[in-house]
Amino acid sequence: MNTSRPANDAERFLRLAQRGERGRLTVYLGMAPGVGKTYRMLQEAARKRAEGKDVVVGIAETHGRSETATLLEPLAVLPRKSIRYEGHTLEEFDIDAALERRPDLILVDELAHSNAPGSRHPKRWQDVAELLVAGIDVATTLNIQHIESLNDVVAGFTHVRVRETVPDSILASAEIILVDLPPEALIERLTAGKVYLPETAGRALANFFTLPKLAALRELALRFAAGSVDRRLLDELALTGAEGDFTVGERLLVAISAGKGGAQVVRHAKRLADLAHAPWTAVVVESGGARSIAGQQREQLAENLALASSLGASLLTVAATDVAQALVDEARNLRASQIVIGKSRRSRWFEWRHGSVAQDVIRKARGVAVHVVPLDEADEKPAQDRDANPWQAPLLALVPVAIAVAVLFAAEGLVPPAVIDMALLVPVIAAAVLLRTSAGLWAALWAALAYNYFFTTPRFTLLISDSANVVTFVVLALVAMIIGALASRVRRQAETSAGVARLNASLARYAGLLGGISDRDETARVACREIGALLDVEAVIVAREGERLVLRGNEGYTALDTVDEAAARWTLEQAVPTGRDTGTLNASDWQFHPLKTSLGLMGALGLARREQGRVIRADDATLLASLLDQTALAHERLVLEEEARQVGTLRERDRLRGALLGSIAHDLKTPLTAVIAAAEAIPDKGIYAEEVRIARSEARRLQRFLGDLLEASRIEDGGIEPRPETVDLTDIVAAVLRDLRQSESGGRVVTRVDPACPLISTDPVLLRHALINLLDNALKFSPEERPIEVALECDDTSAICRVLDRGPGLPADHEALFDRFERLEGSDRVGGSGLGLWIARNFVEALGGTIAASNRAGGGAEFAIALPLDPGAESEVHA
């Protein structure tokens, strides 16, 4: 499921269309066996059947519970598929029958079940995924301990490692219905024998089904179900574009400031997040004032961010001029249910002049809880970078005002007196836009005084005789100050926008540079060079090759000292930031960050700063996170490109090898036919009779070998097209024995045929080739004195042909026996081309059957071909 937010309406419409084509998955989730998941699923199925929907039971386990069996009786149930495995017949869910039936809703019990070997998919959840892709709605059951992401958590307190797990991805778009039962009630059911048999129930009560373990499992199930509802709601809102303050699950947003109390706010937010088991995000709002804070408080801000990151918070930086509004907007974007913000003790005079961010957030955050953390000590007003010359601002502000006054004084008589006060606003705006806010305010004061001194009577004095001029003077001063403040605010907004634009441009340029490189060392060099320039640091990429650390990207650093190497290894092993300023191995001069992708850990990025102070400044934390992601993705792309090149090389090599072998086999076929004909024409009598028989046998063996090569070429070219017809398996076996010269007296093959076997629909040529390869393999590697047995058996769903020998048998790791050119050393299956069993498998699978190999009791090997008796099943496979 794609959980990213749709970028536009077109993408949103595409995802809605794709969702409409897929089936819906409903999962009945329980804390443990016996809570009633299957019972609840069957109840809901009966209700939907009563509504007129086509409901089918694909597979459901009653576990001997009569009430569950009663609910199952009125529902249509698909026949199970029988699979032979190691002499036993196993019954599994028949996915082919389900796809052919195509009901509105199908019930598939026990999502985490492992299918029997020989099934289409090894896991039942993969069968369910195929049904969903086909547009069929599925209902299934699952216990909380079978969810992959919770496997370690469950094993931690139950001391039982569950092997059958389901990936979280298949549950991402599922509707989770929690089937809840108090632990005491489940223990009562278990004691009463309603879950397991009495002897099994006793062991369960002593081990897994204890009250503390069941209580912990129940809490996990409740939390997972609640989180699933929250995720589905957010996905739905993102997909449909609906607006609204929907906050089902708990999420926290904490405002990070540069004050000393910021760490206290972070720790308080962490405690709240732990109590609510909620994710939390630490937000820094970059306003004009925040960007101009002095070095000491900048370091404090960086420490607060590092603390939040180490405690598990996600970091976010927002550029805005209104801090409170930015926090509220981000809370709504993140669907946060709580905002955590600190409030220092301030005087009323301070709050009247500067306002209170906490109060503004409370006023604007409708529908979101606001936690105000009273700080232990009052934070100082953020210290601004001070100019070396305190008179710089008033003197610079005086310059444009003086120029304007000189122009107006020189143009006296040409400029109407009523325009002079308006004209003096121009230098005020210029000073506020070009310089800082204080310069704009000084310019407003200079303009008001200049208007009074030069242009009101009595002139060249600060006295004002006319009351109208008094009003003009006061209005001019106020208007000038307001315009100056507004112009300064516009300048700060422009600086904020420019900073965001520069950041985006830097990231885009960085991504573009990495995207055009296909060499690992060059990628590392470009990454370290650009990151070093953007963050003003030294950068190096560390990777592990075997037990050795390799440094790339910075020729000035070819080795790490002992402490730095220990920090790098810790990052590569634990995938966490390590080194300077991180709280782990702080003695290192380097700060290492993991480069994590979906493929795993690509390496570590090391950063160092020559001067004292923090390696990463507070305002660069978000930029660093983006650079780490881009660098990791670039290295992941290189790995995928290398794998693609290797796959392409292997595919081309296989194509050339297949073409060469096919060509050789075809060219040798005609002369070999003549050799065989000549050998057959020579009488096998006299002193050379034995040599003649050897020549004939080896010539036929060579003919079969060349036939294998030709068949391999057909398989690789996709040229197998079965032509089914109704045949008797005994006739095919007889033809195979004639081809192998085993039908005459003295042959080593004995047959055993079930007379109840019916005629089947199959391609006799392909089946004959497959049996020849199996029987020839058995004859080749079995002792001369031991017979080979060919047995034909039938059950309700399939016809089975077995080839059994009494040779040394197969090794324990014989899973690759049917692979191409595979010859298992140390077994009786060595020698030959390594193609026979591979060809046999491909032919049997083309016929809709299965082939398996196993060791016989008492020694020897057994190869079994199972073909479906139902012709419709075969035709479906080929369709």
- CA 465 – CA 658 distance, rounded (Å): 109
Question: What are the DSSP E strand ranges found in 162-273?
Answer: 175-178, 252-255
Percent of the chain with pLDDT over 70: 77
Please state, in angstroms and as integers, the Cα–Cα distance from residue 394 to each residue in 10, 432, 480, 594, 792, following that order.
55, 12, 15, 50, 106
- Give me 413's structure tokens: 């008589």
Ordered alpha helix ranges (H), 724-796: 729-739, 764-780
The tens digit of pLDDT for each residue in 34-56 reads 888 898 999 999 999 988 899 99
pLDDT value of position 196: 58
- 571 CB burial (10 A radius; 0-12, 13-18, 19+): buried
Cite the beta strand spans of 213-279 per DSSP E: 252-255
What percent of the chain has pLDDT above 90?
A: 6
Residue 227 has φ and ψ, to the nearest 5°, of -65, -35
| Cα 537 from chain centroid (whole Å) | 32
**Ordered strands of the 798-804 beta sheet:** 749-753, 788-794, 798-804, 861-868, 850-855
How many whole angstroms separate alpha carbon 716 and alpha carbon 719? 8
CA atoms within 13 A on the CB side of 163: 1
Please name the amino acid found at residue 619: D
The per-residue pLDDT for 288 is 57
Q: How many CB atoms lie within 10 A of CB 269?
A: 28
Sign, Cα dihedral of 523, 526, 532, 538: positive
Nearby residues of 305 by Cβ (< 8 Å), 6 or more positions away = 256, 282, 284, 315, 618, 621
Please name each of the domains of the chain with its CATH number. Answer: 2-240 (3.40.50.300), 252-386 (3.40.50.620), 392-494 (no CATH), 720-868 (3.30.565.10)
Q: Is the pLDDT of residue 702 over 90?
A: no
Does 213 score more than 70 pLDDT?
A: yes
Q: How far apart are CA 764 and CA 733, in angstroms?
A: 10
Q: Which of the pair, 540 or 574, is modelled with greater confidence?
A: 540
Give DSSP secondary structure letters for 748-808: SEEEEE-TT---EEE-HHHHHHHHHHHHHHHHHTS-TTSPEEEEEEE-SSEEEEEEE--SS
| Cis peptide upstream of residue 458 (ω within 30 degrees of 0) | yes
Q: Check residue 165 and give its pLDDT.
A: 86
Residues in the chain: 879
Smallest CA-to-CA distance from 524 within 547, 554, 491 is with 554
- Which span out of 48-57, 424-433, 865-874 was modeled with the highest average pLDDT? 48-57
Asked whether 56 and 103 are in contact (CB, 8 A), the reply is: yes
For the stretch 740-791, pLDDT in tens is 777 656 678 888 888 878 888 888 888 888 888 888 878 877 887 888 888 9
pLDDT at 506: 72
**DSSP classification of residue 27:** E
Q: What is the DSSP letter of 800?
A: E
The per-residue pLDDT for 724 is 85
The rounded distance, in Å, linking the Cα atoms of 265 and 254 is 8
Q: What is the mean predicted confidence (pLDDT) over 378-402? A: 64
Which residue, 535, 507, 538, is CA-closest to 617?
535
Q: Which pLDDT belongs to residue 304?
A: 81
**Which among 133, 90, 96, 98 is positioned nearest to 115, based on CA atoms?**
90
**How are strands ordered across the β-sheet holding 280-286?**
314-319, 280-286, 252-255, 338-343, 369-374
Read off the pTM: 0.47
- Closest alpha carbon to 587 in 559, 611, 569, 565: 565
Cα–Cα distance between 358 and 375 in angstroms, integer?
12
Q: Is 560 in contact with 592 (CB distance < 8 Å)?
A: no
Residue 292 confidence (pLDDT) above 70: no
| pLDDT for position 496 | 65
Cβ proximity of 532 and 538 under 8 Å? yes
| Measured torsion, CA atoms of residues 672, 677, 679, 683, in degrees rounded to the nearest 10 | 180
Q: Which of 51-65, 569-583, 689-703 has the lowest mean pLDDT?
A: 689-703
Order of all β-strands in the sheet with 55-59: 76-77, 55-59, 105-108, 137-143, 25-30, 175-178
User: For 157, how many CA atoms within 13 A lie in the half-sphere containing its CB?
Assistant: 16
Tokens 């100056």 correspond to 484
Contact between residue 639 and residue 543 where contact means Cβ atoms under 8 Å apart: no
Q: Say yes or no to pLDDT of 190 above 70.
A: yes
Q: Nearest-CA neighbor of 542 among 563, 578, 568?
A: 568
Could you give the CA distance from residue 337 to residue 359 in angstroms, rounded to a whole number?
18
